[in-house]
Protein backbone atom coordinates (compact mmCIF):
# COMPACT_ATOMS: atom_id res chain seq x y z
CA UNK A 1 0.00 0.00 0.00
CA UNK A 2 1.34 3.40 -0.99
CA UNK A 3 0.15 6.39 0.95
CA UNK A 4 0.81 10.01 0.17
CA UNK A 5 -0.34 12.54 2.70
CA UNK A 6 -0.09 16.26 2.13
CA UNK A 7 2.81 15.83 -0.26
CA UNK A 8 4.09 19.00 -1.86
CA UNK A 9 7.07 19.95 -3.96
CA UNK A 10 8.30 23.48 -4.30
CA UNK A 11 11.01 24.46 -6.72
CA UNK A 12 12.15 27.99 -6.09
CA UNK A 13 8.93 29.96 -5.78
CA UNK A 14 6.82 27.59 -7.83
CA UNK A 15 4.58 24.94 -6.35
CA UNK A 16 5.01 21.97 -8.66
CA UNK A 17 2.94 19.72 -6.43
CA UNK A 18 0.61 21.04 -3.77
CA UNK A 19 -0.91 19.06 -0.94
CA UNK A 20 -1.42 15.72 -2.64
CA UNK A 21 -3.00 12.95 -0.57
CA UNK A 22 -3.61 9.58 -2.19
CA UNK A 23 -3.80 5.96 -1.16
CA UNK A 24 -3.01 3.20 -3.62
CA UNK A 25 -3.73 -0.41 -2.71
CA UNK A 26 -1.56 -3.39 -3.63
CA UNK A 27 -2.54 -5.04 -6.88
CA UNK A 28 -4.51 -2.01 -7.94
CA UNK A 29 -4.40 -0.08 -11.17
CA UNK A 30 -4.16 3.64 -10.69
CA UNK A 31 -4.22 6.24 -13.41
CA UNK A 32 -2.86 9.76 -13.08
CA UNK A 33 -4.77 11.73 -15.64
CA UNK A 34 -3.98 15.30 -16.54
CA UNK A 35 -2.72 17.56 -19.28
CA UNK A 36 1.00 18.09 -19.83
CA UNK A 37 2.63 20.14 -17.06
CA UNK A 38 -0.10 19.08 -14.61
CA UNK A 39 2.62 17.54 -12.42
CA UNK A 40 2.14 13.86 -13.24
CA UNK A 41 5.82 13.21 -13.84
CA UNK A 42 6.86 15.24 -10.80
CA UNK A 43 4.46 13.29 -8.62
CA UNK A 44 5.76 9.98 -9.99
CA UNK A 45 9.34 11.05 -9.32
CA UNK A 46 8.36 11.77 -5.73
CA UNK A 47 6.70 8.35 -5.44
CA UNK A 48 9.79 6.69 -6.89
CA UNK A 49 12.12 8.59 -4.59
CA UNK A 50 14.03 10.26 -7.41
CA UNK A 51 13.11 13.60 -5.88
CA UNK A 52 12.37 14.53 -2.30
CA UNK A 53 9.08 16.18 -1.43
CA UNK A 54 9.39 19.56 0.29
CA UNK A 55 6.44 18.71 2.50
CA UNK A 56 4.23 15.81 3.52
CA UNK A 57 4.77 12.10 4.00
CA UNK A 58 5.10 9.15 1.67
CA UNK A 59 4.55 5.77 3.27
CA UNK A 60 4.78 2.28 1.91
CA UNK A 61 2.93 -0.23 4.08
CA UNK A 62 2.80 2.35 6.83
CA UNK A 63 6.54 3.04 6.86
CA UNK A 64 7.84 6.43 5.77
CA UNK A 65 10.14 6.22 2.76
CA UNK A 66 10.85 9.92 2.35
CA UNK A 67 14.48 9.64 3.35
CA UNK A 68 15.10 6.33 1.62
CA UNK A 69 17.31 6.62 -1.47
CA UNK A 70 15.82 5.29 -4.66
CA UNK A 71 18.22 2.36 -4.95
CA UNK A 72 17.08 1.03 -1.58
CA UNK A 73 13.44 1.11 -2.65
CA UNK A 74 11.70 -1.60 -4.54
CA UNK A 75 10.30 0.41 -7.43
CA UNK A 76 10.30 0.14 -11.20
CA UNK A 77 9.74 2.96 -13.62
CA UNK A 78 9.15 3.23 -17.35
CA UNK A 79 9.61 6.59 -19.00
CA UNK A 80 7.91 8.13 -21.98
CA UNK A 81 11.24 8.19 -23.80
CA UNK A 82 12.60 4.73 -24.48
CA UNK A 83 15.26 4.43 -21.81
CA UNK A 84 17.56 1.42 -21.93
CA UNK A 85 21.28 0.91 -21.40
CA UNK A 86 22.64 1.38 -24.92
CA UNK A 87 25.78 -0.61 -24.17
CA UNK A 88 23.97 -3.76 -22.99
CA UNK A 89 22.13 -6.32 -25.07
CA UNK A 90 18.38 -6.62 -24.66
CA UNK A 91 18.96 -9.70 -22.50
CA UNK A 92 21.34 -7.83 -20.19
CA UNK A 93 19.01 -4.85 -20.13
CA UNK A 94 16.19 -6.98 -18.85
CA UNK A 95 18.46 -8.87 -16.49
CA UNK A 96 20.08 -5.76 -15.04
CA UNK A 97 17.96 -5.33 -11.87
CA UNK A 98 18.29 -9.05 -11.09
CA UNK A 99 22.06 -9.04 -11.63
CA UNK A 100 22.29 -6.33 -8.99
CA UNK A 101 19.96 -8.22 -6.68
CA UNK A 102 22.29 -11.23 -7.08
CA UNK A 103 19.56 -13.53 -8.33
CA UNK A 104 20.96 -16.96 -9.17
CA UNK A 105 21.70 -17.65 -12.80
CA UNK A 106 18.94 -20.17 -13.47
CA UNK A 107 16.18 -18.01 -12.00
CA UNK A 108 17.51 -14.98 -13.81
CA UNK A 109 17.55 -16.77 -17.13
CA UNK A 110 14.07 -18.15 -16.62
CA UNK A 111 12.63 -14.76 -15.66
CA UNK A 112 14.27 -12.94 -18.55
CA UNK A 113 12.98 -15.53 -21.02
CA UNK A 114 9.52 -15.34 -19.50
CA UNK A 115 9.39 -11.54 -19.67
CA UNK A 116 10.71 -11.68 -23.23
CA UNK A 117 7.96 -14.11 -24.13
CA UNK A 118 5.22 -11.96 -22.60
CA UNK A 119 6.50 -8.85 -24.33
CA UNK A 120 7.33 -10.62 -27.59
CA UNK A 121 11.04 -9.85 -27.42
CA UNK A 122 12.34 -13.39 -27.77
CA UNK A 123 13.94 -12.94 -31.22
CA UNK A 124 15.80 -9.81 -30.14
CA UNK A 125 17.49 -10.85 -26.90
CA UNK A 126 20.98 -10.69 -28.40
CA UNK A 127 20.52 -7.34 -30.08
CA UNK A 128 21.47 -3.90 -28.81
CA UNK A 129 18.55 -1.63 -27.86
CA UNK A 130 19.43 0.96 -30.50
CA UNK A 131 19.06 -1.67 -33.22
CA UNK A 132 15.40 -2.12 -32.29
CA UNK A 133 12.30 -0.20 -33.25
CA UNK A 134 10.81 2.27 -30.80
CA UNK A 135 8.12 -0.18 -29.77
CA UNK A 136 10.64 -2.94 -29.12
CA UNK A 137 12.82 -0.57 -27.12
CA UNK A 138 9.89 0.41 -24.96
CA UNK A 139 8.93 -3.24 -24.49
CA UNK A 140 12.49 -3.87 -23.32
CA UNK A 141 12.11 -1.13 -20.74
CA UNK A 142 8.77 -2.59 -19.65
CA UNK A 143 10.28 -6.08 -19.42
CA UNK A 144 13.01 -4.73 -17.14
CA UNK A 145 10.36 -3.18 -14.91
CA UNK A 146 8.45 -6.46 -14.92
CA UNK A 147 11.24 -8.83 -13.92
CA UNK A 148 12.18 -6.71 -10.96
CA UNK A 149 8.97 -7.72 -9.20
CA UNK A 150 8.82 -4.25 -7.67
CA UNK A 151 6.12 -3.38 -5.18
CA UNK A 152 5.57 -0.05 -6.93
CA UNK A 153 5.47 0.13 -10.73
CA UNK A 154 5.39 3.59 -12.24
CA UNK A 155 4.65 4.08 -15.92
CA UNK A 156 4.96 7.64 -17.13
CA UNK A 157 3.06 7.93 -20.42
CA UNK A 158 4.81 4.77 -21.62
CA UNK A 159 2.85 4.53 -24.83
CA UNK A 160 2.84 8.19 -25.85
CA UNK A 161 5.68 7.82 -28.34
CA UNK A 162 4.49 4.59 -29.89
CA UNK A 163 2.52 4.09 -33.04
CA UNK A 164 -1.21 3.62 -32.86
CA UNK A 165 -1.46 -0.13 -33.34
CA UNK A 166 1.20 -0.97 -30.79
CA UNK A 167 -0.43 1.35 -28.29
CA UNK A 168 -3.76 -0.40 -28.60
CA UNK A 169 -2.06 -3.72 -28.08
CA UNK A 170 0.09 -2.80 -25.09
CA UNK A 171 -2.63 -0.75 -23.46
CA UNK A 172 -4.71 -3.87 -23.04
CA UNK A 173 -1.82 -6.11 -22.04
CA UNK A 174 0.03 -3.86 -19.60
CA UNK A 175 -2.45 -3.85 -16.72
CA UNK A 176 -2.90 -7.60 -17.07
CA UNK A 177 0.85 -8.25 -17.03
CA UNK A 178 1.45 -6.18 -13.94
CA UNK A 179 -1.75 -7.13 -12.11
CA UNK A 180 -0.33 -10.62 -11.64
CA UNK A 181 2.70 -9.30 -9.78
CA UNK A 182 0.51 -7.75 -7.08
CA UNK A 183 2.30 -4.42 -7.35
CA UNK A 184 0.87 -0.98 -6.90
CA UNK A 185 0.53 0.02 -10.53
CA UNK A 186 0.53 3.72 -11.36
CA UNK A 187 0.07 4.88 -14.91
CA UNK A 188 0.29 8.50 -16.03
CA UNK A 189 -1.48 9.61 -19.15
CA UNK A 190 -2.91 12.69 -20.83
CA UNK A 191 -5.62 10.72 -22.60
CA UNK A 192 -9.04 10.16 -21.03
CA UNK A 193 -9.62 7.17 -23.31
CA UNK A 194 -6.54 5.48 -21.92
CA UNK A 195 -7.79 5.98 -18.36
CA UNK A 196 -11.16 4.46 -19.25
CA UNK A 197 -9.50 1.52 -20.95
CA UNK A 198 -7.22 0.80 -18.00
CA UNK A 199 -10.08 1.03 -15.53
CA UNK A 200 -9.14 0.82 -11.86
CA UNK A 201 -8.87 4.12 -10.08
CA UNK A 202 -8.13 7.51 -11.55
CA UNK A 203 -6.68 10.62 -9.98
CA UNK A 204 -7.19 13.67 -12.14
CA UNK A 205 -4.47 16.28 -11.87
CA UNK A 206 -4.40 19.93 -12.70
CA UNK A 207 -1.64 22.43 -11.90
CA UNK A 208 0.00 20.21 -9.31
CA UNK A 209 -3.19 19.33 -7.46
CA UNK A 210 -5.33 16.24 -7.40
CA UNK A 211 -8.78 17.40 -8.38
CA UNK A 212 -10.44 14.05 -7.74
CA UNK A 213 -9.50 10.47 -6.94
CA UNK A 214 -11.81 7.53 -7.19
CA UNK A 215 -13.07 4.69 -9.29
CA UNK A 216 -12.33 5.60 -12.91
CA UNK A 217 -15.90 5.21 -14.11
CA UNK A 218 -17.24 7.26 -11.20
CA UNK A 219 -14.76 10.05 -11.82
CA UNK A 220 -15.77 10.07 -15.45
CA UNK A 221 -19.49 10.04 -14.80
CA UNK A 222 -19.63 12.24 -11.75
CA UNK A 223 -16.67 14.62 -11.83
CA UNK A 224 -16.56 16.56 -8.59
CA UNK A 225 -15.80 19.81 -10.30
CA UNK A 226 -15.48 21.49 -13.65
CA UNK A 227 -11.74 21.08 -14.02
CA UNK A 228 -11.99 17.34 -13.41
CA UNK A 229 -14.71 17.12 -16.03
CA UNK A 230 -12.55 19.08 -18.44
CA UNK A 231 -9.49 16.94 -17.82
CA UNK A 232 -11.58 13.83 -18.32
CA UNK A 233 -13.01 14.81 -21.67
CA UNK A 234 -11.45 14.46 -25.08
CA UNK A 235 -12.43 16.22 -27.33
CA UNK A 236 -12.82 19.09 -24.87
CA UNK A 237 -15.96 19.55 -22.86
CA UNK A 238 -18.44 22.08 -24.21
CA UNK A 239 -18.93 24.71 -21.56
CA UNK A 240 -21.35 27.61 -21.33
CA UNK A 241 -22.41 30.04 -18.60
CA UNK A 242 -26.13 29.74 -17.99
CA UNK A 243 -28.78 31.35 -15.86
CA UNK A 244 -31.43 29.26 -14.15
CA UNK A 245 -34.82 30.82 -13.69
CA UNK A 246 -37.60 28.54 -12.61
CA UNK A 247 -36.62 25.26 -14.26
CA UNK A 248 -35.46 26.99 -17.39
CA UNK A 249 -31.73 27.19 -18.23
CA UNK A 250 -30.79 29.97 -20.60
CA UNK A 251 -27.73 31.68 -21.87
CA UNK A 252 -28.40 34.91 -23.63
CA UNK A 253 -31.50 34.34 -25.69
CA UNK A 254 -30.88 30.65 -26.12
CA UNK A 255 -32.71 28.10 -24.05
CA UNK A 256 -30.94 24.93 -22.97
CA UNK A 257 -34.07 23.24 -21.70
CA UNK A 258 -34.88 22.39 -18.12
CA UNK A 259 -32.71 21.47 -15.20
CA UNK A 260 -33.58 18.03 -13.92
CA UNK A 261 -32.92 18.87 -10.27
CA UNK A 262 -35.87 20.96 -9.10
CA UNK A 263 -34.33 21.76 -5.73
CA UNK A 264 -31.59 23.84 -7.35
CA UNK A 265 -31.84 27.54 -6.48
CA UNK A 266 -32.15 30.11 -9.23
CA UNK A 267 -28.68 31.37 -9.93
CA UNK A 268 -25.92 31.52 -12.49
CA UNK A 269 -24.35 28.15 -13.31
CA UNK A 270 -21.85 26.65 -15.67
CA UNK A 271 -23.39 24.05 -17.95
CA UNK A 272 -21.27 21.44 -19.70
CA UNK A 273 -22.04 18.76 -22.21
CA UNK A 274 -19.75 16.12 -23.70
CA UNK A 275 -19.16 16.42 -27.47
CA UNK A 276 -20.64 13.00 -28.21
CA UNK A 277 -23.89 13.99 -26.51
CA UNK A 278 -24.48 16.62 -29.16
CA UNK A 279 -26.10 15.51 -32.36
CA UNK A 280 -27.09 16.79 -35.76
CA UNK A 281 -30.43 15.03 -35.61
CA UNK A 282 -33.12 15.44 -32.93
CA UNK A 283 -32.98 12.51 -30.52
CA UNK A 284 -36.10 12.01 -28.43
CA UNK A 285 -38.82 14.35 -27.33
CA UNK A 286 -36.83 16.39 -24.78
CA UNK A 287 -34.15 17.25 -27.24
CA UNK A 288 -33.31 20.95 -27.47
CA UNK A 289 -32.21 22.67 -30.65
CA UNK A 290 -29.33 25.13 -30.59
CA UNK A 291 -28.19 27.19 -33.55
CA UNK A 292 -24.49 27.04 -34.23
CA UNK A 293 -22.07 28.46 -36.75
CA UNK A 294 -19.54 26.01 -38.16
CA UNK A 295 -15.87 26.87 -37.80
CA UNK A 296 -14.04 23.83 -39.09
CA UNK A 297 -14.66 20.15 -39.27
CA UNK A 298 -12.31 17.16 -39.13
CA UNK A 299 -13.04 13.63 -40.12
CA UNK A 300 -11.26 10.84 -38.27
CA UNK A 301 -12.15 7.32 -39.25
CA UNK A 302 -15.89 7.07 -39.13
CA UNK A 303 -16.45 10.09 -36.91
CA UNK A 304 -16.72 13.78 -37.66
CA UNK A 305 -15.61 16.52 -35.28
CA UNK A 306 -17.42 19.76 -36.01
CA UNK A 307 -16.04 22.86 -34.32
CA UNK A 308 -18.85 25.33 -33.92
CA UNK A 309 -19.55 28.62 -32.26
CA UNK A 310 -22.65 28.75 -30.07
CA UNK A 311 -23.47 32.24 -28.86
CA UNK A 312 -19.75 33.08 -28.79
CA UNK A 313 -18.72 29.82 -27.07
CA UNK A 314 -16.52 27.39 -28.92
CA UNK A 315 -18.03 23.94 -28.91
CA UNK A 316 -17.16 20.62 -30.48
CA UNK A 317 -19.77 18.26 -31.85
CA UNK A 318 -18.73 14.63 -32.25
CA UNK A 319 -21.01 12.77 -34.61
CA UNK A 320 -20.93 9.27 -36.00
CA UNK A 321 -20.50 8.94 -39.73
CA UNK A 322 -18.77 11.17 -42.22
CA UNK A 323 -20.54 14.48 -42.67
CA UNK A 324 -19.77 17.34 -44.96
CA UNK A 325 -20.31 20.72 -43.37
CA UNK A 326 -18.91 23.93 -44.75
CA UNK A 327 -17.14 26.57 -42.77
CA UNK A 328 -19.46 29.43 -41.94
CA UNK A 329 -22.57 27.33 -42.42
CA UNK A 330 -25.29 27.72 -39.80
CA UNK A 331 -26.46 24.36 -38.46
CA UNK A 332 -28.81 23.17 -35.80
CA UNK A 333 -27.29 21.10 -33.03
CA UNK A 334 -29.50 18.97 -30.82
CA UNK A 335 -28.89 18.00 -27.25
CA UNK A 336 -30.75 16.22 -24.53
CA UNK A 337 -30.89 18.38 -21.33
CA UNK A 338 -30.57 15.12 -19.42
CA UNK A 339 -26.96 14.90 -20.57
CA UNK A 340 -26.07 18.28 -19.09
CA UNK A 341 -23.65 18.71 -16.25
CA UNK A 342 -24.25 21.74 -14.08
CA UNK A 343 -21.53 23.33 -12.00
CA UNK A 344 -21.66 26.31 -9.67
CA UNK A 345 -19.75 29.36 -10.77
CA UNK A 346 -16.97 28.18 -8.44
CA UNK A 347 -16.91 24.95 -10.43
CA UNK A 348 -18.50 22.48 -8.00
CA UNK A 349 -20.78 19.82 -9.47
CA UNK A 350 -24.48 20.32 -8.70
CA UNK A 351 -26.09 18.16 -11.34
CA UNK A 352 -24.82 15.20 -13.31
CA UNK A 353 -26.69 13.38 -16.07
CA UNK A 354 -29.16 10.90 -14.64
CA UNK A 355 -27.71 7.96 -16.50
CA UNK A 356 -24.36 8.55 -14.84
CA UNK A 357 -23.89 5.76 -12.37
CA UNK A 358 -23.97 6.74 -8.73
CA UNK A 359 -21.60 5.20 -6.25
CA UNK A 360 -20.12 1.77 -6.82
Partner 1 sequence: MRGTKILVVCIYILFLMLPIYWLLNMSFKTTNEILGGFSWYPQEFTLESYKTIFTDPTWYSGYINSLKYVLMNTVISVSLALPAAYAFSRYRFMGDKHLFFWLLSNRMAPPAIFVLPFVELYSAMNLFDTSLAVALAHCLFNIPLAVWILEGFMSGVPREIDETAYIDGYSFPRFFVKIFMPLIAAGIGVTAFFCFMFSWVEMLLAKNLTSVAAKPIVAVMTRTASTAGYELGLLAAAGALTLIPGVIVIWFVRKHIAKGFALGRV
Q: Which residues bind partner 1 (CB under 8 A)?
A: 48, 50, 69-71, 75-77, 79, 81, 83-87, 96-97, 100-101, 141, 144, 148
> In terms of CB distance, is 98 or 316 closer to partner 1?
98
Least Å from the CB of residue 224 to partner 1: 34
Query: d(Cα 326, Cα 315) in Å, to the nearest integer?
Result: 16
> In terms of CB distance, is 95 or 318 closer to partner 1?
95
Least Å from the CB of residue 87 to partner 1: 4
Least Å from the CB of residue 140 to partner 1: 11
Least Å from the CB of residue 75 to partner 1: 6
Least Å from the CB of residue 26 to partner 1: 19
> In terms of CB distance, is 66 or 100 closer to partner 1?
100
> In terms of CB distance, is 24 or 213 closer to partner 1?
24
> In terms of CB distance, is 48 or 240 closer to partner 1?
48
Amino acid sequence: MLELSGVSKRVGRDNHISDVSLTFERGSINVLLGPTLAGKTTLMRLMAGLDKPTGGEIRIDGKSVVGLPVRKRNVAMVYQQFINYPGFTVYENIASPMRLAKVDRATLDRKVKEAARILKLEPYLDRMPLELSGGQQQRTAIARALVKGAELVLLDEPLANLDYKLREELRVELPRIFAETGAVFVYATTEPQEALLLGGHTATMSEGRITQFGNTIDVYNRPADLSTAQIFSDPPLNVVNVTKRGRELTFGEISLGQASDTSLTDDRYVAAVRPHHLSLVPGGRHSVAVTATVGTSEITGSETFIHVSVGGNRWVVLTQGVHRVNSGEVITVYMDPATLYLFTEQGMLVQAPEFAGIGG
